[in-house]
Amino acid sequence: MESSKKRKSKAPAKKAKDSLLEQKSPAEFFAENKNIAGFDNPGKCLYTTVRELVENSLDSTESISELPLIEITIEDIEKSKFNSMIGLVDRDRVDEELYDDHETAKAREKRLAKEAQAQELQAKNASLGKKMKEPAAPKTMKGRGGAAFYRVTCKDNGRGMPHDDIPNMFGRVLSGTKYGLKQTRGKFGLGAKMALIWSKMSTGLPIDISSSMKGQNYTSFCRLDIDIHRNIPHIHIHEKRDNKDQRHGAEIQVVIEGNWTTYRSKILHYMRQMAVITPYAEFLFKFVSDVSDKNVTIRFARRTDVMPPVPLETKHHPSSVDLLLIKRLIEETSKQNLLQFLQHEFVNIGKSYAERLIGELGPEFSPKMPFNDPSGDCLSPAGEYNLRLGIIKELHPELVATYSGSAQVFEGHPFIVEAGVSVGGKECQTSRCFSGLNIFRFANRIPLLFEQGADVVTRTALKRINWNSYKINQTQDKVGVFVSIVSTKIPFKGTGKEYIGDDITEIASAVKSAIQHCCIQLKTKIVKNMQAREQKERKRNLSKYAENVAGAVCGVLKQMQQIQASKKKRYNDKEAEVLEKLSTGMITKQMVKEKLVQHVEQVDSEMAMEFAANSGVSEEPRESIYLQSLEAAEDNFIDLHSPLFVFRLFR
């Protein structure tokens, strides 16, 4: 009996040991590892929140071919106001040592002594007439006690969201509408959810969503937060309200901890780069504070109404699939046989090719059969016109060249590389473009600001391009290098979407080729400008000495006239005729000067024409222009499209 009791007493311990296995929800995992999604610190969290909301708004507006109008507001919330929002009541402190900003008697004595010493030194220098720097502001104690809180609001005129889908779209991590094989800015179903998770972690406040779709007579309003442990939305309010203005789009409002001071420049730089790559969008950015001097309002005006086409969802290429994906496609397909399955689920497999594949499914079947590469028809690059317009709008360069490559493939996914290179322009802080190489990176039409040194674009521009061979001085000239990559699968390093690695040969080669094409265009322009400058300088020098040369020529002629008068030498008829005109006043110094200037002009023009003929300037390649048919035009105009411009013709 005792032995059996012992066995029974040991059984629960063994069961407890077996129950040590735990599970974490996706929301819980990303809350504990928020740096993976770009939420490293309060400042970066504020930047990433703005970025994710703006990109979601752009995807929403472009999905319905609506010209984007996006308003972003960051409102600084005072500590007392924030405390009232979360239900905290101010009260007197009892134990001062528990607070971060508590100053001990020793520290206070040391601070006062240092301030007195600084004031004494400042008074001494003032008496000697020396200029003194203003004393630095005292450092605040680190900790949550000195945290800053902001209300971030993003409003757009996009598609909006279905009423019943809103809770799961914001309150369930790894759920979204962008998981298909399609070019999108977002991919992981994390962005807005991570902003909500950070809001819950730092403030505990819910997120407010207002949304209305086209044709709806109501606006969906939802206030929710997220149950991190179960990865489900916790709904506070979910109701329909009157849509009196009949507007469509979404407005998202979230309160988070952040740091505007340290990430102000990054956020504004991001907005300027977004204006470069999307000149067809209008952005209104505001920072609102109780201190009026800190307020910021910037409007990035729309410069064109020509939008890129809407990206199309495509099928998988045979070279991009694995066993797991094939099994999933077989389970989900509605086709009844293998022939229809191959034709329907993959690109570039027609009926005849599918029959050949099935015929080879024997002992000698080789999985390495050749497939045609996927086309880039499903992609939607910004286009040379928009890229060039954005560069000119924001940087005002002296020279700019753009290039859009053809579709290429890596791992079965099509991609297109567009590039622009600008030279010169005004040196200004707002454009963040200075002397030397200034590299601007875009992936699926979103700016990449972090981890620049490891990016394929940076490494290619710095190490693989010989700028001197294109007459560009990469250290002294103000050079802007813009590279935009679009694909159904951007190979980001990490979920933060911060840079593209340099380990994919196809992308690295395409980036190098695109930059080189731009440099070749610029070289022609730079050589022509150099020739024009040399021509102008030569003309200026020759014209400068025309008067002296005319005087010298007239002096020589007068000496010849004196020699002829003394009969020491006889000149031929032409020379005698010239001397006769000189003596009668028909040839003067002013006349000789004018003839010399005319000769300089004539020779200069002949040399320019000879240079143009030898350098082949008149044989530059021409750009094709495509005219849209009248039957296909839905509006009262048609567009003539070229990589360099769009000419609109009204009917």
Task: Tell me the pLDDT of the chain averaged across its residues.
Answer: 81
In DSSP terms, 388 is beta-bridged to none
- The answer to whether residue 535 scores a pLDDT higher than 60 is yes
The label of the residue with tokens 């009892």 reads 94
Who has greater pLDDT, 486 or 620? Answer: 486
What's the pTM? 0.71
What's the whole-number mean pLDDT along residues 75-96? 82
User: Is residue 192 domain-resident?
Assistant: yes
Nearest-CA neighbor of 221 among 212, 213, 229?
212
E strands, 87-246, where? 148-155, 207-212, 218-227, 232-242
Residues 508 and 604 in one domain: no
What's the CA gap between 512 and 483, in Å, rounded? 10
Ranges 35-44, 129-138, 296-305, 486-495: which has the least confidence: 129-138
Annotated binding site for ATP: 56, 156, 177-178, 186-193, 497
Which pLDDT score is estimated for 611?
54
Ranges 58-72, 153-167, 227-241, 342-356: which has the least confidence: 342-356
Which pLDDT band holds residue 122 (cuts at 50, 70, 90)?
Answer: confident
Q: Are 368 and 286 in contact (CB under 8 A)?
A: no
Q: What does each C-alpha distance from 134 to 129, 131, 246, 628 come to in angstroms?
A: 15, 9, 55, 64
User: Is residue 540 domain-resident?
Assistant: no
Residues 443 and 574 in one domain: no
Amino acid at 471: K
The label of the residue with tokens 């520290």 reads 107
Strand, coil or helix: 477: coil
Ranges 93-97, 110-114, 618-622: which has the least confidence: 618-622
E strands, 34-129, where? 69-77
User: Is residue 311 domain-resident?
Assistant: no
Which pLDDT score is estimated for 359?
75
Whole domain around residue 322: which residue ranges?
318-360
Chain-centre distance for alpha carbon 627: 30
Residues 85 and 223 in one domain: yes
Residues 252 and 159 in one domain: yes
User: In the 3-class helix/strand/coil scheme, how is 395-419 assigned residue by residue?
Assistant: HCCCEEEEEECCCEEECCEEEEEEE
Q: Which token pair is 497?
A: 């979407």
- The answer to whether residue 258 scores a pLDDT higher than 80 is yes
Give the CATH number of the domain where residue 397 resides. Answer: 3.30.230.10
Which pLDDT score is estimated for 99?
73
What's the CA gap between 328 and 157, in Å, rounded? 36
Residues 497 and 584 in one domain: no
Residues 526 and 550 in one domain: no
User: Is residue 9 domain-resident?
Assistant: no
Which pLDDT score is estimated for 531?
78
Residues 502 and 605 in one domain: no
Give the CATH number of the domain where residue 117 resides. Answer: 3.30.565.10
Which pLDDT score is estimated for 549?
81
User: Is residue 19 domain-resident?
Assistant: no
Within 8 A by CB and 6+ apart from 339, the residues are 351, 354, 355, 358
Which pLDDT band holds residue 1 (cuts at 50, 70, 90)?
Answer: very low
Q: Are 57 and 70 in contact (CB under 8 A)?
A: yes
β-strand pairing of 69-77 with 637-641: unpaired
Amino acid at 429: Q
Residues 268 and 190 in one domain: yes
In DSSP terms, 70 is beta-bridged to 283
Q: What does each C-alpha distance from 166 to 160, 170, 534 come to in angstroms?
A: 10, 6, 66
Who has greater pLDDT, 100 or 445? Answer: 445
Q: Are 409 and 505 in contact (CB under 8 A)?
A: no
- The answer to whether residue 2 scores a pLDDT higher than 50 is no
The label of the residue with tokens 């009026």 reads 292
Q: Round to the nearest angstrom and report the end-to-end CA distance of the chain.
A: 103
Amino acid at 218: Y
Which pLDDT score is estimated for 371?
61
User: Is residue 326 domain-resident?
Assistant: yes
Domain count, the chain: 4
Q: Which token pair is 203?
A: 């403030």
DSSP notation for 497-515: ---B-S--HHHHHHHHHHH
Which pLDDT band holds residue 532 (cuts at 50, 70, 90)?
Answer: confident
Share of the chain above pLDDT 70, in %: 82
Which pLDDT score is estimated for 633?
47
State whether the Cα torsion 157-159-164-165 is positive or negative: negative
User: Is residue 51 domain-resident?
Assistant: yes
What's the CA gap between 349 and 374, in Å, rounded? 10
Residues 147 and 250 in one domain: yes
Residues 146 and 244 in one domain: yes
What's the CA gap between 302 and 339, in Å, rounded? 49
Residues 597 and 495 in one domain: no
Q: Which token pair is 511?
A: 């980036």
- The answer to whether residue 538 scores a pLDDT higher than 80 is no
Residues 348 and 488 in one domain: no
pLDDT, tens digit (0-9, with 9 covering 90-100), for 545-601: 777 887 888 888 788 877 777 776 677 777 777 777 777 778 787 888 787 777 777
User: Is residue 628 domain-resident?
Assistant: yes
Annotated binding site: 56, 156, 177-178, 186-193, 497
Nearest-CA neighbor of 168 among 243, 205, 222?
222
